[in-house]
């Protein structure tokens, strides 16, 4: 008899726990909704804003039919007015990350008036306009309720200058053109030229990191024949690099620089295009190559020993 009673008590205990668990699962979302409703309804301003949001959502959900669009626009505008009166309006615009972007250009791109209903803002349109500014690489546009529009900028960093004929523009590391105006402060940057040079500039500069003697004297680089670089140095000299095995050619140049300091000579062209020799000549003299022997015949050219 005692065994039966004990088993019945265990069954009742299990059922009680299961019942409580079910109530907890069901009650939790209901409690959260009740808490949210209580917060939203706690003050007059929040009540008005909540009502405006409900109306706006209802309008968006119901008035999808083209013929009802004017009515939907009117109701949506009314909902925005209610939210604005409740304090949900643009009272301040904060900007983070602006260094080179002109303030006037940014204000013109944002195109938001004071006291505009904050829920009426088209964040995608603002993002598109700000993103189109020359210095802006990326941007985040955020509502900070109840009354702040926040703009976070990630500006492009000047990397080099790019010359195309008589036109010179500032580019970033990716080769993206930033601006062609107010370039005096960037004259210390190297100038790249040649079709496709902007896209390859970062790769060349990364390679030259291991050759500071060359990099520190570099003032310009031309992408020649869409296959190789010609470097212009600060004392008027030039370095002709080969199509491939760039590091091998630069290593040979450094070996000769340690032995003879050939990079110190002004207006000298250093030709590294041949794998087994380095040719030196005055900068402005062009070499002539014999089509039969393949040897250099220019009188002013010499092979580095």
pTM equals 0.70
CA–chain centroid gap for 88, Å, is 31
CA–chain centroid gap for 92, Å, is 26
The four Cα atoms 238, 242, 246, 247 give a dihedral, to 10 degrees, of: -70
> Which domains are assigned to the chain?
2-85 (no CATH), 92-155 (3.10.20.310), 160-303 (3.40.50.11690)
Contact predicate 114/168, CB 8 Å: no
Neighbouring residues of 193: CB distance < 8 A, sequence distance ≥ 6:
162, 163, 164, 220, 221, 222, 223
Distances (CA, A) of 138 to 120, 134, 153, 262: 23, 11, 6, 45
In tens, the pLDDT along 197-246 reads: 999 999 999 999 999 999 999 999 999 998 999 999 999 999 999 999 99
The four Cα atoms 108, 168, 240, 173 give a dihedral, to 10 degrees, of: 0
Closest Cα to residue 95, out of 115, 116, 113, 110?
110
Q: Reduce the DSSP state of residue 229 to 3 states and report it.
A: strand
In tens, the pLDDT along 9-64 reads: 444 565 555 555 454 454 445 444 544 555 444 566 666 666 666 656 655 555 55
In tens, the pLDDT along 160-211 reads: 999 999 999 999 999 999 999 999 999 999 999 999 999 999 999 999 999 9
Closest Cα to residue 235, out of 209, 262, 260?
262
Distances (CA, A) of 302 to 82, 186, 241: 85, 37, 17
């Amino acid at each position: 008899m005692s065994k039966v009673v004990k088993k019945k008590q265990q069954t009742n205990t299990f059922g009680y726990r299961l019942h409580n668990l079910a109530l907890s699962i069901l009650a939790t979302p209901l409690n959260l909704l009740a808490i949210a409703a209580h917060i939203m309804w706690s003050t007059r301003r929040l009540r008005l804003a909540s009502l405006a949001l409900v109306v706006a959502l209802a309008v968006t959900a119901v008035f999808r039919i083209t013929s009802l669009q004017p009515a939907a626009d009117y109701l949506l505008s009314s909902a925005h007015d209610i939210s604005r009166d409740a304090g949900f309006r643009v009272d301040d615009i904060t900007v983070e990350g602006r260094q080179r972007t002109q303030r006037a250009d940014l204000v013109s791109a944002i195109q938001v008036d004071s006291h505009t209903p904050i829920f009426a803002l088209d964040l995608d349109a603002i993002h598109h306009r700000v993103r189109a500014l020359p210095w802006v690489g990326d941007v985040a546009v955020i509502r900070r309720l109840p009354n702040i529009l926040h703009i976070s900028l990630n500006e492009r960093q000047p990397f080099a200058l790019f010359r195309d004929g008589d036109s010179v523009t500032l580019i970033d590391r990716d080769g993206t053109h930033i601006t062609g105006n107010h370039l005096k402060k960037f004259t210390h940057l190297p100038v790249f030229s040649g079709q496709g040079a902007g896209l390859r500039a970062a790769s060349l500069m990364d390679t030259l990191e291991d050759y500071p003697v060359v990099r520190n004297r570099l003032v310009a680089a031309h992408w020649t024949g869409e296959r190789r670089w010609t470097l212009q140095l600060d004392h008027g000299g030039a370095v002709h690099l080969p199509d491939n095995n760039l590091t091998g050619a630069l290593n040979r140049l450094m070996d000769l620089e340690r032995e003879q300091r050939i990079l110190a000579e002004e207006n000298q062209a250093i030709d590294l295009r041949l794998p087994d020799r380095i040719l030196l000549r005055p900068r402005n003299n062009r070499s002539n190559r014999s089509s039969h022997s393949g040897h250099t015949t220019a009188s002013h050219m010499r092979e580095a020993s």
